[in-house]
């Protein structure tokens, strides 16, 4: 057999890109590629990119610049750009950085092997279509290796919400749900390969409405309950959700589906109704707070996570204080917060920006509060015994790390055979980025 060619993939941005990178590696596996974690060792470099904020997109060009030397040394090296920058900028990428051989948008990954062949033949390959066929379907029969205990599974892609700041509806396209049978097949296959926890992914995952085996559209809750019947699958999570799609059946599932973990990422973006309206979020601070109350009534110990944007065009100090007030009222165990970043082509990009130093100052204040809450959530675990799914060796000798149901990283002394198993751990201390515990078997 020929020596495998080597593929280096660097992934930016969200978990869906992580999932897509795995699928791209599988697709190119059929063209004789094995993955490597060293760019200087590769025959093909793929950057799976993110366009959500300006900084994320610019990183791609600086990274590409760094490959100049490599390409000069190794003329056969092929360089590709995938993901949302590829979708948004297309051919422009090759104009700006001529060393790029291949540009592939997120809906065309099943066409990668053909594109790779074209690039090998010395031609530029570009595909940013939104084709009809399911990009994951072609991959289903590939031989698959044993997997770690946790995996992502994309069930829905795209978004029809058009928040005024967001590029997703343009880069990932309209909302599409994968059919139930394909998801179940993929989930069973993952479990057979050692996976114990699956995180269902979608840009708007709780808007899921894929076709069920009965020909009807299934909700995310129904999908979760059916997945929960798979023996050997112990834990289910999903991300990311929109408040307006949090239907009653999904709230109920948080209360009575044991395999659904007590963690929910439910972005609110702002606590000011004026800003929420300008963002085209179609919910208010009050309706969000009421929704959280209903979810917590179903699952009182739920750990809530969120996304926030500060300095959206027109945001005043009073608007920003409304965000702080909402955070105080809701209480987050974890959160992501960002300075608004104007994205070309989005409605908000037309509006006058809040000065940079004001954005920075607000971000600092918001993060101080969110960090305090995250810390308190971690501290509240000390003394409790939590089920932990062990994932890999820890930093210290004899240690393993895994996740609690609340998605906190937990480390404890445990034998390597415990990897892939769930065990009770008594939490002893909260450390900056994890919890320290001991097995309570
Ligand atoms: N500027 C800053 N943050 C943004 N997000 C999305 N678009 C922008 C933008 N233009 C944030 C939102 C979203 C998360 C994935 O990224 O908070 O929920
Ligand atoms: Fe973007 Fe999420 Fe709004 Fe869709 S719901 S436009 S992905 S922020």
For the stretch 59-89, pLDDT in tens is 999 999 999 999 999 989 999 999 999 999 9
For the stretch 231-263, pLDDT in tens is 999 999 999 999 999 999 999 999 999 999 999
Ligand 2 pocket: which of 52, 87, 161 to mutate (most atoms within 8 A of CB): 161
For the stretch 349-371, pLDDT in tens is 999 999 999 999 999 999 999 99
Give the closest residue (by CA) to ligand 1 atom 17. Answer: 307
So what's the pLDDT on residue 268? Answer: 98
For the stretch 318-352, pLDDT in tens is 999 999 999 999 999 999 999 999 999 999 999 99
So what's the pLDDT on residue 126? Answer: 96
Q: What is the average per-residue pLDDT within 160-177?
A: 95
Lowest average pLDDT, out of 3-7, 159-163, 302-306, goes to 3-7
- Residues with a CB atom less than 6 Å from ligand 1: 52-53, 165-166, 267, 269, 307, 309, 338, 340-341, 343
So what's the pLDDT on residue 137? Answer: 72
pLDDT band at 417 (very low <50, low <70, confident <90, very high): very high
For the stretch 190-240, pLDDT in tens is 999 999 999 999 999 999 999 999 999 999 999 999 999 999 999 999 999
373 sits in the region (left: phi over 0; alpha: psi -120 to 50; else beta) called alpha
pLDDT band at 142 (very low <50, low <70, confident <90, very high): low
- Residues with a CB atom less than 6 Å from ligand 2: 159, 161-163, 166, 168-169, 203-204, 242
Q: What is the average per-residue pLDDT within 259-271?
A: 98
CA of 264 to the centre of ligand 1 (A): 18
Atom of ligand 2 minimally distant from the CA of 160 = 4
Give the closest residue (by CA) to ligand 1 atom 18. Answer: 307
CA of 203 to the centre of ligand 2 (A): 7
Structural domains present in the chain: 5-127 (3.40.50.12160), 146-261 (3.30.750.210), 385-439 (2.40.50.140)
Task: Let me know the angle formed at the C-alpha of 150 by 210 and 240, rounded to the nearest 5 degrees.
Answer: 45
CA of 273 to the centre of ligand 1 (A): 18
For the cut 70, the answer to whether the pLDDT of residue 143 exceeds it is no
Atom of ligand 1 minimally distant from the CA of 307 = 17
So what's the pLDDT on residue 431? Answer: 95
For the cut 80, the answer to whether the pLDDT of residue 1 exceeds it is no
CA of 271 to the centre of ligand 1 (A): 15
**Whether the predicted model's global pTM rises above the 0.75 cut:** yes
Average pLDDT, the chain: 95
Atom of ligand 2 minimally distant from the CA of 166 = 1
CA of 348 to the centre of ligand 2 (A): 13
For the cut 70, the answer to whether the pLDDT of residue 388 exceeds it is yes
Ligand 1 pocket: which of 16, 53, 205 to mutate (most atoms within 8 A of CB): 53
pLDDT band at 139 (very low <50, low <70, confident <90, very high): low
Which strands, in side-by-side order, build the sheet including 5-11? 33-35, 5-11, 44-49, 78-82, 102-104, 125-127
**Sequence-distant contacts of 316-320: CB under 8 A, at least 24 apart:** 318/272, 319/270, 319/272, 319/274, 319/275, 320/272, 320/362, 320/365, 320/366
For the stretch 83-124, pLDDT in tens is 999 999 999 999 999 999 999 999 999 999 999 999 999 999
For the cut 70, the answer to whether the pLDDT of residue 141 exceeds it is no
Ligand 1 pocket: which of 57, 275, 278, 309 to mutate (most atoms within 8 A of CB): 309
Ligand 1 pocket: which of 168, 267, 279, 338 to mutate (most atoms within 8 A of CB): 338
CA of 354 to the centre of ligand 2 (A): 21
Q: d(Cα 436, Cα 441) in Å, to the nearest integer?
A: 16
């Amino acid at each position: 057999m020929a020596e495998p060619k080597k593929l280096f993939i660097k992934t930016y941005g969200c978990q869906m890109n992580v999932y897509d990178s795995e699928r791209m590696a599988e697709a190119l596996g059929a063209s004789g590629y094995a993955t490597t974690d060293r760019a200087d060792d590769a025959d093909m470099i793929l950057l799976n990119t993110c366009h959500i904020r300006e900084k994320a997109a610019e990183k791609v060009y600086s990274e590409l610049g760094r490959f100049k030397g490599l390409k000069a040394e190794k003329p056969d090296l092929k360089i590709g750009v995938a993901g949302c920058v590829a979708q948004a900028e297309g051919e422009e990428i090759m104009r700006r950085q001529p060393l790029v051989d291949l540009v592939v948008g997120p809906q065309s990954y099943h066409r990668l092997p053909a594109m790779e062949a074209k690039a090998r033949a010395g031609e530029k390959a570009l595909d940013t279509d939104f084709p009809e066929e399911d990009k994951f379907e072609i991959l289903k029969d590939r031989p698959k290796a044993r997997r770690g205990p946790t995996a992502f599974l994309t069930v829905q892609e795209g978004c029809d919400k058009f928040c005024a700041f967001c590029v997703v509806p343009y880069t990932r396209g309209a909302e599409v749900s994968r059919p139930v049978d394909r998801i179940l097949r993929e989930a069973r296959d993952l479990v057979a390969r050692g996976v114990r926890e699956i995180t269902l992914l979608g840009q708007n995952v709780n808007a899921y409405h894929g076709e069920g085996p009965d020909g009807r559209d299934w909700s995310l809750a129904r999908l979760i309950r059916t997945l929960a019947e798979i023996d050997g699958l112990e834990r289910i999570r999903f991300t990311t959700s929109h408040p307006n799609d949090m239907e009653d059946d999904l709230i109920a599932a948080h209360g009575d589906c044991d395999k659904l973990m007590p963690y929910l990422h439910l972005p609110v973006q702002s606590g000011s109704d004026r800003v929420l309206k300008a963002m085209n979020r179609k919910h208010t601070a009050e309706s969000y707070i009421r929704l959280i109350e209903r979810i917590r009534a179903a699952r009182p110990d739920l750990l809530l996570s969120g996304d926030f944007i500060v300095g959206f065009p027109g945001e005043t100090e009073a608007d920003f204080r409304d965000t702080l007030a909402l955070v105080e009222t809701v209480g987050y165990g974890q959160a992501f917060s960002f300075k608004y970043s104007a994205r070309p082509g989005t409605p908000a990009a037309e509006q006058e920006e809040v000065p940079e130093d004001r954005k920075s100052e607000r971000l600092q204040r918001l993060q101080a509060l969110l960090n305090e809450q995250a810390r308190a959530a971690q501290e509240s675990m000390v003394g409790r015994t939590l089920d932990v799914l062990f994932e890999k060796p820890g930093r210290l000798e004899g240690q393993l790390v895994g996740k609690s149901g609340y998605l906190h990283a937990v480390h404890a002394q445990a034998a390597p055979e415990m990897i892939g198993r769930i065990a009770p751990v008594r939490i002893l201390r909260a450390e900056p980025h994890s919890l320290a515990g001991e097995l309570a078997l």
